[in-house]
Amino acid sequence: MDETKSGRFIVVVAAVSGSALGNARKDLRQQLRAGQRSLHFTKESNSSRRAVLKIIADLPIEVTVYRVIGKLGSHDSRELCIRALAHDAVTAQPRRIVLERDDSLQVHDERWLYEELGPGNRRDTEYQHLNRHNDPMLWVPDAVAWCIQKGRPWLDEVSDLIVRTVELP
């Protein structure tokens, strides 16, 4: 999961099956340049972005976008999105939800996930915050969020991955 606050507040969630994770992580890590620990789309060159997007397009990934259409602050917007994500997770039953670590937000995220997942689902769905360099799969929603925020032609690169957009008040 990653977010963008530029323009409308959106959260992008990339879902991938457990069996595809190992190869997906390996393919993404191969895009790192010498000395680089992680990819961050705002800091990449256009040629690097295109190479990463080609890899992402070939992965078995489904993306959901949570978009806040009202004019809320980023804290309230994030809460709406995290709660909607958790609500959807009750049905989808993912094994794990990974959010990019932001120490100032972690306690709130964990409370919202705990409240929304409910007692039975907390056992089935693990959630954790990781630094972006700990899991290359965090680079996928970052890339998709960047493309959405930039619009065309970048949005065209990821539009086939987006299976659902949820508009929140």
26-37 tens-digit pLDDT: 999 999 999 999
Task: Give the pair of three-digit tokens for residue 146.
Answer: 């960047």
Q: What is the mean pLDDT of the chain?
A: 92
Q: 38-47, 56-65, 119-128, 138-147: which range is least confident on average?
A: 119-128
**In the predicted structure, residue 83 carries a pLDDT above the cut 90:** yes
Rounded distance, CA 20 to CA 62, Å?
12
DSSP 33: P
44-77 CB burial, b ≥16 within 10 A, e <16: beeebbeebbebbeebebebbbbbbeeeeeeeeb
Cis peptide bond prior to 119, omega within 30° of 0 = no
User: Distance from CA of residue 73 to its chain's centroid?
Assistant: 20
Residue 102's SS3 state is coil
**pLDDT at res. 90:** 87
* Domains within the chain, CATH numbers bracketed: 2-168 (3.30.420)
For the segment 98-124, what is each residue's pLDDT rounded down to a tens digit?
999 999 999 999 999 999 987 765 667
**In the predicted structure, residue 141 carries a pLDDT above the cut 70:** yes
In the predicted model, what is the mean pLDDT of residues 138-148? 96
Rounded distance, CA 67 to CA 77, Å?
9
**pLDDT at res. 93:** 87
Q: What is the largest CA-CA distance in the chain?
A: 46
